[in-house]
Structure 1
Amino acid sequence: MTQPIVEINHLQKRFGKFQALKDITMTVNAGEVFGFIGPNGAGKSTTIRTLLGILRKSGGDATIFGQDVWQDAVSIHRRIAYVPGDVYLWPNLSGGEVIDLFLKLNGQKHSATTDALIKDFKLDVTKKARTYSKGNRQKVALVAAFSTEADLYIFDEPTSGLDPLMEEVFQQHVLALKASGKSVLLSSHILSEVEHMCDRIGIIRDGVIIETGSLDDMRQLSRTQVTVSTNQPLDGIAKLPAVHGFTQSGAKASFAVDSEELGSVMSALTPLGIKSLQSTPPTLEDLFMRYYNQEGADADEQH
């Protein structure tokens, strides 16, 4: 049985009259990378700050390692590593001194792993923190986090300010954590980042989790893009209920198919004599936009 590391049930958070979190329910299991996605302002950071015990919940429950995130924050923090989306450092310390201080605060020491990470992220640790760009401040926090021996790693928009090469380095190190059985909660609005690394994702919209599951599970509910050319006319294919956006040019046609009906559409295509066929599964971006637009339309209908 899969062991949950993080469990959130109907979590709510209000700031005065504003309800930032309305209904957050999700779990992060042992040894998985969980992607927490949604646009800025959807409630990702508020959820994470509540998990960290920085904010106190207004309703619902949240536990990490089976402990309450508010009452047991001190013991939980001994076992986690965290990188926020905007890192503030002590301006008069060098990057290297800040990394060592972060490690010391977590009861850890500078190691060969730390040196390798500094090299991987191409960070000049001799410079004062006040001279660092946003990207370099992120690198300091990432080096310290990846150097830390933790059971859960929480990253909240961790690659903001990093160039694409450094994003790739970040992804490699997250995948290494996953390979070693660690658990990771990754909040991001960069969908390609999440798609590359995550076992499961949760989509948040206006303080509510609207969908959770594996990418494969979600793809079953979305549409596959098909381009096909056949020996015989394709007119009948356009009339199938599972086919959407049918366009034709000569003997070649393009259309979207409900993924769960792909088999029946293929059965209808085969007697027509397939000359070429290309199918493209939906990307995370396709899924995200479909869920977001669908939920938005549902909400509009209710008003």
Structure 2
Amino acid sequence: MPILKATGLTKRFGKFTALDGVDMELNKGEVYGFIGPNGAGKSTTIRILLGMLKATAGEAQIFGKDVWKDAVELHKQIAYVPGDVNLWPNLTGGEVIDLFMKMRGAPNQGRREELIERFKFDPTKKSRTYSKGNRQKVALIAAFASDADLYILDEPTSGLDPLMERIFQDCVQEAKDAGKSVLLSSHILSEVERLCDRVGIIRQGQIIERGTLDELRHLTRTNLTIQTKETITNLDEFVGIHNLEKEGHNLSFQVDTEEMDAIIRHISQFGIIKLESAPPTLEDLFMRHYQGEEQTSSGTGGSR
């Protein structure tokens, strides 16, 4: 039984439909990547799951409890990190972390100190002096120092430098190894690829693709760079080739997976000297869905 299950989630703000029938499942010990452009409905979905917004239609349950009716009880098992952390300006970072931990009960001071060290965070400064990245660190340390069963992370690495992003990824992996579950909303596709077991892509309030990374990669194109002894001819007769670039006997292009065999057979006649194949990335999949479409972030007032 999934620990998080959403069915037909719909949210309207006046005449604007922010979510249109979103379905989602998250299993124990799984990291689920939730990706989409600004304004697609990621944050609106998360706010409903946290009991901060009431869905217009549909239902969602976490640990078998209704996310709206049982929100207070559920928050005892959930750690949440938003993409933009606001803190009490006159409290130090350490005081804010302690406050968050006390609200959850049974604070783990050893884990707190370990995370402060790993994130290279100074807990003695007033919150008003912190950069965006340091405000994110406060929320991340408080979240990972808690003994939550479910982590809901909405663009959690916003403002972090690459080194701190890697520390964050290590923390997510450790939570997964401990049997915890993670819902990760992100637009950093390399982060999603590195961490997530399954992915859901949302566009204009609807889930347009979902599955494991391997399942989704069947929909993407492989990047090929090829050098041959002779000039390749008649490539234009093949379907499934995209973004072809030629320079003498060197070619680079993308190829649809289902057409790979026929194209490689054709090219091999011209004497392959070098062939480099790069696996498709979520970036490829993402761009393929949104290519040529106007992307806007208006309408939901900050829904990401």
Cα displacement string for residues 125-181 of structure 1 (whole angstroms, at most 9, x for unaligned residues): 112222222221111111010001111100111111222221121111111112222
**1:272 alignment partner, SS class:** coil
Larger mean Cα displacement after TM superposition, 232-241 or 162-171? 232-241
Partner of 2:144: 146
Corresponding residue number in structure 2 for 1:301: none
Query: Which segments of structure 1 move beyond 6 Å, counting only runs of 4 or more?
Result: 294-297
Partner of 2:134: 136
Corresponding residue of 2:188: 190
CA distance in 2, matches of 1:281, 1:219: 8
Instruction: Return the match for 1:263 from 258, 261, 264.
Output: 261
Q: Which residue does 1:69 correspond to in 2?
A: 67
CA drift of 1:65 comes to 1.3
| SS in structure 2 at match of 1:167 | helix
Matching residue of 1:230: 228
**What amino acid sits opposite 1:94 in the alignment?**
T
TM-score by length of 2: 0.90
2:108 and 2:146 in contact (8 A); partners too: no
SS in 2 for 1:211: strand
- Counterpart of 1:9? 7
Name 1:112's counterpart in structure 2: 110
Q: Verify the 8 A CA contact 1:67 1:76 in the aligned structure 2.
A: yes
Q: Deviation of residue 252 (structure 1)?
A: 2.5
Q: Given the alignment, which residue of 38, 48, 54 partners 1:50?
A: 48
Q: CA deviation at 1:89?
A: 1.9
Amino acid at match of 1:54: M
Matches of 2:239 and 2:89, distance apart in 1:
62
Percent sequence identity over aligned pairs: 59
Q: Does the 8 Å CA contact 2:239/2:259 hold for their aligned counterparts?
A: no
Residue 93 of structure 1: aligned partner: 91
Q: What SS is found at the alignment partner of 1:40?
A: coil
Code of the residue aligned with 1:289 in structure 2: it is M
Question: Which AA in structure 1 matches 2:255?
Answer: V
8 Å contact from structure 1 (residues 221, 260) kept in 2: no
Which has the larger displacement, 160-169 or 44-53? Answer: 160-169
C-alpha separation between the residues in 2 aligned to 1:230 and 1:132? 55
Question: What SS does structure 2 have at the residue aligned with 1:235?
Answer: coil
Bigger mean CA offset, 285-294 vs 57-66: 285-294
Q: Paired residue for 1:273, among 271, 274, 278?
A: 271
Give 1:23 shift: 2.1
* Matched position secondary structure for 2:58: strand
1:163 equivalent in alignment to 2:161:
yes
DSSP 3-state at the match of 2:79? strand
Partner of 1:300: none
The whole-number CA distance in structure 2 between the counterparts of 1:283 and 1:219 is 7
Q: Which has the higher helix share?
A: 1
Distance 1:246 1:163 in 2: 35
Look up the match of 2:301. none
Equivalent residue letter for 1:180? A
- Counterpart for residue 203 of structure 2: 205
Shift of 1:46: 0.8
Per-residue Cα deviation, 1:237-261 (whole angstroms, up to 9, x for no partner) = 3322232343433333222210122
Cα drift, residue 233 of structure 1: 4.2
* Structure ranking higher on relative contact order (CA contacts 8 Å, 6+ apart): 2
Higher mean alpha-carbon deviation, 248-257 vs 181-190, is at: 248-257
The 3 A distance-change label for structure 1 pair 76 and 294 is farther
Which stretch of structure 1 is more off in the superposition, 185-194 or 55-64? 185-194
Query: How far apart are 1:294 and its partner, in Å?
Result: 7.2
Q: Distance in 1 between matches of 2:38 and 2:90?
A: 31
In 2, Cα distance between the equivalents of 1:76 and 1:139? Answer: 24
C-alpha RMSD of matched pairs (Å): 1.9
**Stretches of structure 1 lacking an aligned partner (at least 5 in a row):** 298-303
**1:238 touches 1:246 (CA, 8 Å); kept in 2?**
no
TM-score normalized by the length of structure 1: 0.91
Match of 1:62, SS?
strand
* Partner Cα separation in structure 2 for residue 296 and residue 41 of structure 1: 12
Q: Could you report, residue by residue, the CA deviation over 1:38-75 in whole angstroms, capped at 9, with x for unpaired residues? A: 12221111110100001111001111112111112122
Deviations 1:250-289 (A, max 9, x none): 3332222101222332233334332211112222212101
| Equivalent residue pairs, number | 295
